[in-house]
Amino acid sequence: MIGKLKGVIDSYGEDSLIVDVGGVGYVVHCSARTLQVLPATGEPVVLSIETHVREDQIRLFGFLSDVEREWFRLLQTVQGVGTKVALSVLGTLKPADLANAVAMRDKAAIARSPGVGPKVAERIVTELKDKAPAYTSVDPAIVRLTGEVEEKRAPQPVLDAISALVNLGYGQPQAAAAIAAANRVAGEGANAAELIRRGLKELAR
């Protein structure tokens, strides 16, 4: 199995490129975002590779980092997500942004990917929620409280404060993260008004 390719870019296709490694040209499929940042034809390139072998074909998928390749694998563990959808998501979101979106249950961010509908986005955040914290930059306490909000287990003042911010036009994930951060600073006894005030300060940062 091929896990890495180091060579020279021979040419670009619509969703792939050919990497010349010692005179052998490998067709490597990449996300749109990866293709945009790769160097010009004739320049050296190093790609992490995921190899898919079937009876009738061998396909190579290329990534800028091992972390991105790991997300490609993780996404395909979700029901209804194949290589095309996984590449679409990674073409829209960087690995760190994807990790944050999953951790914060931000279905809308994932649904911005071409070909990814609300149901698939819902499955991605639901099925990968326990795997995202290892990759996310979001405070674990905020991730935990966001999960409680999603399941309506958070204290009533927290739920009320999030609802107020959503009514002001903020997205549910952003509002939940801001109030979670505010709640951590204000303490458990804080009322909704104080949480809203602190939450707005968080959002203004």
pLDDT higher than threshold 80 for residue 187: no
Give the separation between CA 85 and CA 75, rounded to whole angstroms: 8
Q: Are 20 and 7 in contact (CB under 8 A)?
A: yes
Q: How far apart are alpha carbons 151 and 132 in whole angstroms?
A: 18
- Residues 117, 165 within the same domain: no
pLDDT in tens, 43-65: 999 999 999 988 888 999 999 98
Domain that holds residue 78: 67-134
What's the whole-model pTM score?
0.68
The enclosing domain of 113 has a CATH number of: 1.10.150.20
Q: Is 90 exceeded by the pLDDT of residue 12?
A: yes
Whether residue 152 has pLDDT greater than 70:
no
Phi first, then psi, for residue 154 (nearest 5°) are: -75, 160
Total domains in the fold of the chain: 3
- Are 74 and 118 within one domain? yes
Task: Transcribe 163-189 into DSSP letters.
Answer: HHHHHTT--HHHHHHHHHHHHHHH-TT
What average pLDDT does range 166-170 have in this prediction? 82
Clarify whether residues 110 and 126 are in a common domain: yes
